[in-house]
Structure 1
Amino acid sequence: MKKRYLAVVLLAMQLVGCSKFDEINTNPETPEKVKASMIATRIIMDIANQPGQKGFMRPYFLTKEITWGEMADQNEQFNSFGTQLMSLISLNDAQHMVNFATSEKLKNSYKGVMHFAQAYRFYELTMALGDIPYKDALIGESDKVYFPKYDTQKDVFLGILNELEQADALFAAGDKFDGDPMFAGDVNKWRKLANSFELNVLLQLSKKVGDADLKVKERFNTILTSKPIFTSNADNFQLLRSDKSGQAYPFYKIGNNNLIYAIVSDEVTDRLKTTKDRRLFYYAKPSPVKIAAGFAATDYNAYVGVSPALTYGDLAAVRTKNDYSRLNDRYTEIPTGEPTQQYSYAQMCFVVAEAAARGWVTESDVNWYKKGIEAAMKFIVDNTPNTTQFHQGMPMDQNYVTTAVNEYGTNFPTDLEKKVEAIITQKYLASFLQGRISPYYDYRRTSYPKWKINPASSLNVDAPDKIPTRWRYPAVEYNNNGENVSEALKRQYGGIDDPNQLMWILK
């Protein structure tokens, strides 16, 4: 967030001459004038797109959905947070997107995109680090603030909530806009996204429910009762993949040398096997050792997850025996794979279910819980070819989905803590290779799901029996904004950039 990160990026220059030289040297495939839609596409894609191959899988090491067999690549490495987020580079151009809009309604729409993108990015930063620059973060060019002060996490969250509410109001006063690869410029869908994502932000503030400034319960109720929110998987904030260069599913096999390292974690397989949940057959492939021993691919016992808590030596021994479940072919053999979600209807349903269980709203917690499970199952079915290769002969037809959802509902607990555990566990299972690190944030807030931790394999030197609760600040911040970083550390963590200390929202 220093000067070099806050400088406005010059995207293009309008051609002002009309000489023969200009005509000869003009590339007909390069736009001569920047449009609001061009900037909007880049800002939205910066949020929605994900790296490929191992880069795509890394968040799922952290959430213990994938055990990685390449080397001792443990998921408790909480070193400094990536500078790619600290730069906030794509947001510097957001105001230019608004300036290039050709009508007041379009200005409102593009302002809505700007406020949502800012809320989303600052949410990611503060959830990872704690206090961050917010008010001063994007004014390096306009106000010559090159060393932004760090705002308290409470003030950052107040800003995030305000930006999401502004986004909703702006989209309501806006018009369909170009440059949107997610919702084709549909402002009603963007309203749903802004409000549904705000529900998630509010739930992450569950330990601050009594704060008079945040008004967590009041805001949550207002959104749920009077604003548009997601109503089905058709509203998912997700990127559709295609069989084109650069647009395929991030773990598709072509050019991917990492296929042999991805192992489905027992944190996922064991939970699905316990409840005889057929999502197992869509997430994993049976162990070749079990198949050779006579188990059918339709047998839950043919599936063997591997603990990500194993030491590397133990993991290497497992790989040698080949008795484990690899990823289902739907993730590696189909170029389009499945859409990659940033926030989904299923996730929102579980957010509302938890809020209802906590008494924030008068809605039925079990009904929202069931809606979330059903949406998660339907998402898989709707994005998977109905062949044995991809469901092992155990398809989730409508009859199965209805029966399974009702059974989960019947077994829904009555005790609050057990309710929260059940909701978070189902939210976790619905997030398999989706939503990046969001399950980690639920884990550190609620301690669910109850992941296995092995001090012998942990890289958390100071607390090997725990998963760290935050990342360290980037080294570039110490080099270029050291005074403000130091002040923020003293205010939060006693001056020590310790990944095991609790940030404000967790206290």
Structure 2
Amino acid sequence: MKKIVTYLLIGLLGTTSCSKFEEINTNPEATEKVTSAMIATRIILNLANQPTQKGFLQPYMLNKSIVWTEFPESFQYNGFGAGSLSFTAINDAHFMPQFATTEKLAKSYEGLMYFARAVKFFEATMDLGDIPYSDALKGETDKQYFPKYDTQKEVFIGILKELELADQAFAAGDNFAGDPIYAGNITKWRKLVNTYTLNVLLQLSIKENDADLKIKTRFQQVLANKPIFTTNADNYQLIRSDKAGQQYPFYKVGNNFTIYPTMSAEIVDRLKARSDRRLFYYGHPSPKKIEGGMTAANFDAYVGIDPSMKYDNIQKIKTSNDYSKLNDRYLEIATGEPTQQLSYAQLCFMIAEAAARGWVSESALAWHKKGVEASMQFIYENTPNTTQFHHGMPLDAAYISTYVGGLTLPAGVEAQIEEIITQKYLASFLQSEFNTYYDYRRTGYPKWKINPESSLNSEAPTKIPVRWRYPATEYEYNTENVDAAVKRQFGGKDNSGVDDVNRLMWILDPQK
């Protein structure tokens, strides 16, 4: 009987034409052709989006903004492992200009391609050191499956060149489709590209006298001649919505981790010392202090936990109920605040630092004030004006004007840089992922507490690691090239390189 059924099915299938098969297997609502806009949307979201739930908070454990209480977390205790080295998110970026319908649109998508490449290579080299660059992404075109590693200096020269090309391409382009951030506005994209360039140059501050990079001259030229961010409306950020996949990354629905983060003393104590009302938007008052008679509008009602403290001691504080959790606005509002990768406030602090270093003739204090003002305005404008979220201490215009008007900078270049970087840190609470760590790594500011007794950095327990190790896949599949890169960077006198998290990469080593 089974054989008869089989033969009947074969006969029926044989009478069905190919065209009929294609018709019933084609979705009339789905596109059959990839477009530039489709690729652009995917690439932009990959660049700008952040993980959700616990993954969202992990960078902020590393930069000491929050304390995690579920169990000892590696980043909180300075434990680093292997990093990532993958450029698959941009391996089809070159198709965007090819698929464009006009020459001007092709230019815009070319600008996005160069920018995306610059970002991905920048992130990789910032984490690891030397990386594949000139041979990268050539597997399909040149059958280059085992790319050599370029020196970090060569990579940065390439990144800066690609950012220049991105600005030129956007300047020659048209507004384009597929952009969830700036709606394809090429002027906005030029501002982002050039602001990002200033960020890259500042991360090279230890190499400010390098004759090939010409860092100070480049910084001056961009600041004087190129469009850059001018307000919070230019922020490189994703505006959230109450739709699946678009909600604020730590929104409470479906989030089982909301009970674990607490405010860090590194944030709370600095805000309290400055009588800064951002504290009331970042944190929630200690229940024990409220029970003791304090009001939620009292700075002393907010208690941060030292993130370097041994985990057992953190658990004791958690049990005592004398600590500050995250403000409700991070958990209760589905749209939350926009999540930034780079902001106008950060740009202001970058220019302030460059001015303090003598790179530009701008006023360090004026730009420092603009940075604090932009940070406060962003928070106020993106938070419902209710007591639940500001505890009766709103960041209204009158407060901001008075507070910013009273700001000063200390005497001396190093002291000024410390205060500028510290304010940049306070403005970046739960924003910009690893940027604050990069600033700390090159400047030593803010001065975070490091406890050797709790440190997971076994080789140097009094230090925070300065890089990630190369991923295991590189040692498995690109052995010769990664080994050569390690020896070149960290070989020492005996040339026996060690891929260690405490070894200085080129941008951090003033001796190279």
TM-score, normalised relative to structure 2:
0.94
Deviation at 1:25, TM superposition (A): 1.4
Deviation at 1:421, TM superposition (A): 0.3
Correspondences of 1:52-91 after superposition (within 5 Å):
52-75=52-75, 76-82=78-84, 86-91=85-90
Unaligned segments of structure 2, at least 5 residues: 1-16, 492-496
Q: Which residue of 2 aligns with 1:425?
A: 422
Q: Which residue of 2 aligns with 1:20?
A: 20
Q: Which residue of 2 aligns with 1:239?
A: 238
Give me the whole-angstrom Cα distance separating, in 1, the residues matched to 2:28 and 2:322.
57
Q: Which residue of 1 aligns with 2:314?
A: 315
Can you list the C-alpha shifts for 1:66-120, whole angstroms capped at 9, x where unaligned?
A: 10001011321210003xxx22112111011121101110110001000000100
Deviation at 1:413, TM superposition (A): 1.2
**Mapped pair 1:261 → 2:263:** no
Contact 2:288 2:321 in 1 (8 A): yes
**Mapped pair 1:452 → 2:449:** yes
Can you list the C-alpha shifts for 1:265-297, whole angstroms capped at 9, x where unaligned?
A: 000000000010000000000000000000100
Contact 2:349 2:367 in 1 (8 A): yes
Amino acid at match of 2:508: L
Q: Percent identity?
A: 63
The secondary structure found in structure 2 opposite 1:280 is helix
Q: Which residue of 2 aligns with 1:354?
A: 353
Deviation at 1:29, TM superposition (A): 2.8
Q: Which residue of 2 aligns with 1:491?
A: 488
Give me the whole-angstrom Cα distance separating, in 2, the residues matched to 1:174 and 1:288.
56
Contact 2:74 2:80 in 1 (8 A): no
Give me the whole-angstrom Cα distance separating, in 1, the residues matched to 2:477 and 2:74.
30
Structural RMSD (CA):
1.0
Contact 2:241 2:335 in 1 (8 A): yes
Q: Which residue of 2 aligns with 1:480?
A: 477
Q: Which residue of 1 aligns with 2:4?
A: none
Matched residue count: 486
Contact 2:170 2:186 in 1 (8 A): yes
Q: Which residue of 1 aligns with 2:203?
A: 204
The secondary structure found in structure 1 opposite 2:91 is helix
Deviation at 1:38, TM superposition (A): 0.2
Amino acid at match of 1:236: N
Q: Which residue of 2 aligns with 1:502?
A: 504
Give me the whole-angstrom Cα distance separating, in 2, the residues matched to 1:45 and 1:370.
32
Deviation at 1:50, TM superposition (A): 1.2
Deviation at 1:345, TM superposition (A): 0.5
Give me the whole-angstrom Cα distance separating, in 2, the residues matched to 1:368 and 1:154.
30
The secondary structure found in structure 1 opposite 2:80 is coil
Contact 1:283 1:327 in 2 (8 A): yes
Give me the whole-angstrom Cα distance separating, in 2, the residues matched to 1:425 and 1:291.
29
Contact 1:374 1:401 in 2 (8 A): yes
Select the structure of larger CA radius of gyration: 2
Q: Which residue of 2 aligns with 1:324?
A: 323
The secondary structure found in structure 2 opposite 1:93 is coil
The secondary structure found in structure 2 opposite 1:67 is strand
Deviation at 1:436, TM superposition (A): 0.1
Give me the whole-angstrom Cα distance separating, in 2, the residues matched to 1:462 and 1:43.
38
Q: Which residue of 2 aligns with 1:415?
A: 412
Give me the whole-angstrom Cα distance separating, in 2, the residues matched to 1:393 and 1:465.
40
Can you list the C-alpha shifts for 1:459-499, whole angstroms capped at 9, x where unaligned?
A: 00011011011000000110000110100000101210010
Give me the whole-angstrom Cα distance separating, in 2, the residues matched to 1:102 and 1:90.
23
Give me the whole-angstrom Cα distance separating, in 1, the residues matched to 2:31 and 2:22.
14
Contact 1:74 1:458 in 2 (8 A): no
The secondary structure found in structure 2 opposite 1:94 is coil
Deviation at 1:18, TM superposition (A): 9.3
Contact 1:41 1:180 in 2 (8 A): yes
Unaligned segments of structure 1, at least 5 residues: 1-16
Amino acid at match of 1:54: K
Give me the whole-angstrom Cα distance separating, in 2, the residues matched to 1:396 and 1:349.
19
**Mapped pair 1:443 → 2:447:** no
Contact 1:158 1:214 in 2 (8 A): yes
Amino acid at match of 2:268: T
Amino acid at match of 1:505: I
Q: Which residue of 1 aligns with 2:42?
A: 42
